């Protein structure tokens, strides 16, 4: 009989009879594939939205000249245009604004030289690509603005209508002079973009005489590298000449840690899914061992039996994977908003308007689901083929203990655990510049540890049961003893369910503790640097990096005059280029900071901060920067300023978690002198003793609120909001953890169902000699809880270690050693409770089935 006939006549009949079990097994694969697809799609969509924005915003530009967020003198335009091989060099101002009133939508403002910008970007204000009734008026008036048609429709704005926009100069009224069709730059940021003439943008956003970027196209036939080299030679050191693709790469690098951590979790989902498949196929073997025996007796070869089980797995996992891909699309749609918001909160404005996916990737994820299923099914299928016909026909108990208790598995388990610890030790001993110091190394250590422990679960369950029999079961009476004995009957299968619980709890505990550590460290740091009572910014103080609008430096005087204000500390931050990579430059009034903030030094003392005071070209850098660029206290670094490169002394190494790209601190007066930038992102206000913070904050808003929309946030609320943002950034991880827990729960259900089925006759005997239905249920639920408790204990213990590894690889590598591991003890208690509770819940259905067994039929069961 060929495999198709076997599948049709044997497998199909079996699958029809075991609908519930089939459904659960399918659900496991389905959820695993769905989680993987959803994560792939979400990651790709976020990146694609940035890539599209960059491509639409850059048009035909092949090179971009930039020098950090504060911009650079516009005279550099002539320098770049004069470079041989350059066709067009057009200036760009790219900044954020917010509609004042209505939906208060955040808008990207692109300031371009509209007279020549069409040489680079696909639009023109004077042709059919835009509806601009009077382009001359648009050019002549500095209040002119163009909106995209999509945004105007969303906001109900018409041509010639006035709109109010929050700018550096306060709330400004602009006249909508026209609407852009959804082409070229009008597609940037999901259409939430406004275009202004570059000179109007300079005036409105406090960038007179400066531009943020120069977009460059090359003459036909020119050698790209040579022209790039020539431009690099023509502009001062520290200017960054990059391709638009390079900018996408920078975004990709920025998001890498965020995406890696989600990717790590998605891999774990697949592993747990594999446990489920393993169990499901094992149970199928239990069910059909007699049938297999008959087939073997009739001449079926071992290979045919293996192929039959793998064939079944192939068909069912293909269906489940197909459904999983669809479900993944739904998950992606549901979660994309949360992820985009997290990216906006932490990194930069992300407007994801559509899901980006390729059919190739969806097929790949489906195939991974099928392969993972086949790999998981291969072990029980192989064991099944080894069943002798006689033992199967006589219904002798079947167990995979031979395989899972084999020496090879024990050696593999020990080897993987040892390998994991070896990698960790090597990682800790390696220097900062060692190729071992990557998140890939820590990821491998975590993976080996978890897989190693999984393979060791049969042994662990055995030890656990010894402990249980000795210390606990005597207190639980007969049902307790029975439960322990039952688990002992098929340790291997139960160990697989235990491994699934272990995996999910380990994942949960590690996530919670890694997050708790980052949160605690971030709060300790925030407490040390933000000692103000009120934070004032044009946008929400938390969003100054993503879509904030700076304020003029002169505002400080007006705020100082508000009754009740003790001190006002300006704060300005932005990215600059160092060694071709973006780093965060933060500036503040160092003298004031020294007086009020304890600060956290990683190398050096607080007294070293004196060297940052005005008149000295000194900086301090954070641990991440020091590690990445091999900088120590006493070294010097050259930073690009608009006037050319300037050497700064490194006065110390501080703790700062502002950015994972590396952080540099300097006094704001030094910054203003060197960067000619008098803007401020946030004012930190301290009130006089005894003053009511809310009243002072209200007085500031009353005084300044007429000119601009301001946020005055009490520091306490600021901290609460940071907590919310951190929680949000972990939302996807928690969602996946939940899926993993559900899959693990399915695993227990399947295991218990198999156990009940296998013991049908035994349960019948027990019932016939007087055991009550409730006692039968109690035994099954106790078994389930025991599996859960053992898995929970192992998961909690390994989760603690994996959490530390996760912190090491995903956070400390970028933020420095000061980010210490903080164990959330409550999470351990919750994990144990959850594992026991989940197991009890998972045991309910099998317990119900066991208690409903008909005594007479059970006694006849073979």
The distance of closest approach from Cβ of residue 211 to another protein in the complex, given in angstroms and rounded to an integer, is 14
Dist. CA 188–CA 354, nearest whole Å: 13
Applying CB under 8 A, does 134 fall inside the site for another protein?
Answer: yes
Piece of the chain touching another protein by CB under 8 A; list 129-137, 187-195, 639-647, 687-695: 129-137
Q: How far is CA 67 from CA 210, 241, 552, 642, 734, in A?
A: 11, 9, 21, 8, 39
**What is residue 536's three-state secondary structure?**
strand
The distance of closest approach from Cβ of residue 201 to another protein in the complex, given in angstroms and rounded to an integer, is 11
Dist. CA 188–CA 244, nearest whole Å: 14
Dist. CA 495–CA 473, nearest whole Å: 19
Applying CB under 8 A, does 243 fall inside the site for another protein?
Answer: no
Element (H, E) at 187: none
- Supply the DSSP symbol for 437: -
Sole binder of another protein in the list 47, 106, 139, 754 (CB under 8 A)? 139
Nearer to another protein, 165 or 584 (CB): 165
What b/e string do you get for 296-313 counting C-beta neighbours within 10 Å, with b at 16 or more? beeebeeebbbbbbbbbb
Say how many residues touch another protein, by CB under 8 A: 23
Nearer to another protein, 132 or 592 (CB): 132
Sole binder of another protein in the list 20, 23, 103, 127 (CB under 8 A)? 127
Q: HEC profile for 624-645?
A: HHHHHHCCCCCCEEEEEECCEE
Q: HEC profile for 635-696?
A: CEEEEEECCEEEEEEEEEEECCCCCCCCEEEEEHHHHHHHHCCCEECEEEEEECCCCCHHHH
**Residues whose CB falls within 8 Å of the CB of residue 288, separated by 6 or more in sequence, listed in order:** 14
Closest CA to 555 of 666, 713, 704: 704
Q: 714, 562 in Cβ contact below 8 A?
A: no
The distance of closest approach from Cβ of residue 136 to another protein in the complex, given in angstroms and rounded to an integer, is 3
Q: Which of residues 519-538 bind another protein (CB under 8 A)?
A: none
Sole binder of another protein in the list 73, 122, 142, 232 (CB under 8 A)? 142
Tell me the two tokens of residue 511: 């996530």
Residue with tokens 């009754």: 563
Applying CB under 8 A, does 124 fall inside the site for another protein?
Answer: yes
Piece of the chain touching another protein by CB under 8 A; list 112-120, 334-342, 345-353, 666-674: 112-120
Sole binder of another protein in the list 17, 20, 136, 297 (CB under 8 A)? 136
Would you give the binding string for another protein spanning residues 384-423, x where CB under 8 A is met? Answer: ----------------------------------------
Biggest alpha carbon distance in the chain?
100
Piece of the chain touching another protein by CB under 8 A; list 115-123, 518-526, 676-684, 780-788: 115-123
Applying CB under 8 A, does 153 fall inside the site for another protein?
Answer: no
Q: What is the dihedral of CA 474, 477, 481, 482, to 10 degrees?
A: 180
The distance of closest approach from Cβ of residue 199 to another protein in the complex, given in angstroms and rounded to an integer, is 5
Nearer to another protein, 114 or 404 (CB): 114
Sole binder of another protein in the list 28, 111, 135, 570 (CB under 8 A)? 135
Sole binder of another protein in the list 115, 294, 591, 701 (CB under 8 A)? 115
Partnered with residue 112 across adjacent β-strands are: 92, 197
The distance of closest approach from Cβ of residue 740 to another protein in the complex, given in angstroms and rounded to an integer, is 58
Applying CB under 8 A, does 81 fall inside the site for another protein?
Answer: no
Residue with tokens 């300023």: 641
The distance of closest approach from Cβ of residue 66 to another protein in the complex, given in angstroms and rounded to an integer, is 23
Partnered with residue 639 across adjacent β-strands are: 646
Applying CB under 8 A, does 119 fall inside the site for another protein?
Answer: yes
Dist. CA 422–CA 417, nearest whole Å: 9
Residues in the chain: 862
Applying CB under 8 A, does 126 fall inside the site for another protein?
Answer: yes
The distance of closest approach from Cβ of residue 125 to another protein in the complex, given in angstroms and rounded to an integer, is 8
> What is the rounded end-to-end Cα distance, in angstroms, of the chain?
27
Q: How far is CA 247 from CA 76, 241, 252, 699, in A?
A: 20, 10, 9, 43
Dist. CA 30–CA 33, nearest whole Å: 5
Dist. CA 453–CA 465, nearest whole Å: 17
The distance of closest approach from Cβ of residue 134 to another protein in the complex, given in angstroms and rounded to an integer, is 5
The distance of closest approach from Cβ of residue 518 to another protein in the complex, given in angstroms and rounded to an integer, is 48
What b/e string do you get for 84-107 counting C-beta neighbours within 10 Å, with b at 16 or more? ebbbbbbbbbbbbbbbbeeeeebb
Piece of the chain touching another protein by CB under 8 A; list 114-122, 221-229, 565-573, 718-726: 114-122
Piece of the chain touching another protein by CB under 8 A; list 53-61, 116-124, 360-368, 551-559: 116-124
Sole binder of another protein in the list 44, 56, 118, 257 (CB under 8 A)? 118
Q: Which of residues 182-241 bind another protein (CB under 8 A)?
A: 199-200, 203
Nearer to another protein, 140 or 334 (CB): 140
Q: At what angle do helices 289-297 and 244-287 cross, to 10 degrees?
A: 80
The distance of closest approach from Cβ of residue 71 to another protein in the complex, given in angstroms and rounded to an integer, is 18
The distance of closest approach from Cβ of residue 227 to another protein in the complex, given in angstroms and rounded to an integer, is 20
Sole binder of another protein in the list 137, 234, 409, 844 (CB under 8 A)? 137
* Helix ranges restricted to H, 1-123: 3-6, 12-17, 19-58, 76-81
Q: How far is CA 66 from CA 95, 575, 642, in A?
A: 14, 11, 10
Piece of the chain touching another protein by CB under 8 A; list 126-134, 246-254, 526-534, 659-667: 126-134
The distance of closest approach from Cβ of residue 673 to another protein in the complex, given in angstroms and rounded to an integer, is 28
Nearer to another protein, 111 or 640 (CB): 111
Residue with tokens 């064991």: 383
Sole binder of another protein in the list 2, 4, 128, 298 (CB under 8 A)? 128
Sole binder of another protein in the list 3, 140, 219, 363 (CB under 8 A)? 140
Piece of the chain touching another protein by CB under 8 A; list 29-37, 133-141, 326-334, 445-453: 133-141
Nearer to another protein, 181 or 528 (CB): 181
Nearer to another protein, 222 or 527 (CB): 222
Nearer to another protein, 138 or 448 (CB): 138
Phi, psi at 225, each rounded to 5°: -65, -40
Tell me the two tokens of residue 329: 């699309």
For binding to another protein (CB under 8 A), which residues are involved?
Answer: 113, 115-116, 118-119, 124, 126-128, 132-142, 199-200, 203
């Amino acid at each position: 009989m060929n495999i198709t006939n076997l599948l049709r006549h044997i497998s199909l009949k079996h699958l029809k009879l075991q609908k519930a079990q089939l459904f659960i097994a399918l659900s496991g694969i389905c959820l695993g594939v769905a989680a993987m697809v959803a994560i792939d799609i979400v990651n790709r969509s976020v990146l694609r939205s940035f890539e599209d924005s960059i491509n639409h915003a850059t048009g035909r530009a092949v090179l971009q000249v930039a020098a950090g967020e504060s911009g650079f003198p516009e005279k550099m335009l002539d320098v770049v245009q004069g470079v041989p091989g350059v066709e067009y060099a057009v200036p760009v101002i790219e900044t954020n604004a917010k509609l004042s009133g209505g939906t208060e939508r955040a808008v990207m403002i692109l300031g371009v030289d509209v007279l020549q910008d069409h040489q680079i970007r696909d639009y023109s204000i004077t042709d059919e690509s835009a509806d601009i009734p009077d382009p001359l008026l648009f050019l002549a008036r500095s209040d002119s603005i163009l909106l995209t048609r999509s945004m105007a429709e969303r906001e109900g704005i018409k041509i010639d209508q006035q709109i109010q926009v929050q700018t550096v100069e306060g709330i400004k009224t602009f006249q909508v002079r026209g609407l852009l069709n959804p082409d070229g730059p009008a597609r940037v940021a999901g259409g939430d973009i406004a275009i202004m003439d570059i000179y109007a943008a300079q005036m409105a956003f406090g960038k007179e005489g400066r531009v943020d970027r120069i977009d460059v196209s090359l003459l036909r036939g020119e050698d790209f590298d040579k022209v790039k080299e020539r431009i690099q030679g023509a502009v001062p050191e520290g200017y960054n000449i990059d391709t638009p693709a390079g900018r996408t790469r920078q975004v990709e690098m920025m998001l890498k840690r965020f995406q890696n951590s989600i990717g790590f979790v998605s891999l774990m989902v697949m592993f747990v899914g594999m446990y489920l498949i393993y169990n499901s196929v094992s149970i199928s073997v239990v069910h059909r061992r007699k049938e297999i025996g008959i087939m073997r007796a009739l001449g079926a070869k071992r290979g045919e039996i293996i192929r039959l089980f793998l064939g079944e797995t192939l068909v069912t996992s293909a269906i489940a994977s197909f459904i999983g891909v669809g479900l993944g699309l739904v998950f992606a749609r549901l979660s994309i908003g949360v992820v985009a918001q997290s990216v906006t909160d932490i990194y930069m404005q992300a407007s994801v308007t559509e899901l980006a996916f390729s059919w190739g990737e969806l097929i790949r994820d489906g195939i991974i689901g099928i392969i993972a299923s086949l790999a998981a099914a291969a072990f029980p299928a192989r064991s099944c083929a080894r069943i002798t016909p006689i033992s199967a026909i006589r219904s002798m108990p079947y167990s995979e203990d031979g395989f899972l208790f084999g020496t090879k598995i024990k050696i593999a388990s020990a080897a993987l655990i040892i390998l994991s610890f070896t990698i960790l030790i090597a990682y800790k001993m390696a220097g900062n510049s060692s190729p071992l110091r990557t998140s890939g190394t820590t990821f491998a250590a975590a993976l080996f540890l978890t897989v190693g422990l999984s393979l060791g679960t049969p042994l662990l369950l055995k030890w656990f049961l010894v402990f249980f029999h000795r210390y606990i079961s005597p207190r639980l009476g007969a049902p307790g003893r029975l439960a322990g004995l039952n688990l002992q009957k098929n340790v291997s299968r139960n160990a697989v369910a235990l491994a699934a619980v272990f995996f999910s709890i380990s994942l949960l505990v590690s996530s919670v503790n890694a997050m708790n550590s980052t949160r605690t460290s971030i709060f300790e740091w925030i407490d040390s640097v933000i000692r103000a009572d009120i934070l004032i910014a044009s946008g929400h103080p938390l969003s100054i990096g993503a879509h904030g609008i700076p304020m003029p430096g002169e505002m400080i005087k007006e705020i100082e005059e508000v009754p009740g204000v003790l001190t006002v500390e300006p704060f300005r931050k932005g990215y600059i280029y160092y060694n071709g990579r973006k780093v965060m430059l933060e500036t503040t009034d160092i003298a004031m900071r020294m007086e009020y903030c304890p600060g956290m030094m990683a190398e050096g003392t607080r007294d070293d901060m004196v060297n940052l005071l005005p008149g000295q070209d000194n900086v301090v850098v954070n641990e991440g920067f020091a590690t990445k660029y091999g900088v120590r206290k006493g070294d010097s670094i050259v930073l690009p300023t608009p006037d050319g490169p300037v050497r700064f002394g490194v006065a110390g190494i501080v703790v700062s978690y502002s950015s994972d790209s590396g952080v540099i601190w300097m006094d704001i007066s030094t910054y203003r002198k060197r960067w000619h930038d008098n803007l401020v992102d946030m004012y930190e206000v301290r009130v006089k003793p005894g003053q009511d913070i809310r009243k002072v904050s209200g007085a500031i808003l009353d005084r300044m609120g007429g000119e601009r929309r301001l946020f005055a946030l009490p520091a306490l609320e600021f901290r609460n909001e940071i907590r919310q943002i951190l929680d949000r950034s972990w939302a996807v991880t928690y969602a996946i953890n939940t899926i993993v827990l559900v899959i693990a729960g399915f695993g227990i259900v399947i295991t218990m169902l198999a156990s009940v089925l296998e013991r049908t006759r035994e349960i019948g005997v027990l019932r016939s000699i007087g055991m009550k239905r409730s006692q039968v249920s109690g035994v099954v639920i106790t078994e389930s809880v025991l599996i859960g408790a053992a898995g929970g204990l192992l998961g909690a213990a390994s989760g603690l270690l994996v959490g530390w590894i996760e912190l090491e690889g995903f956070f400390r590598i970028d933020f420095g050693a000061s980010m210490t591991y903080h164990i959330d003890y409550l999470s351990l208690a919750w994990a144990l409770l959850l594992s026991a509770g989940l197991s009890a819940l998972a045991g309910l259905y099998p317990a119900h089935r066991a208690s409903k067994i008909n005594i007479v039929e059970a006694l006849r069961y073979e």
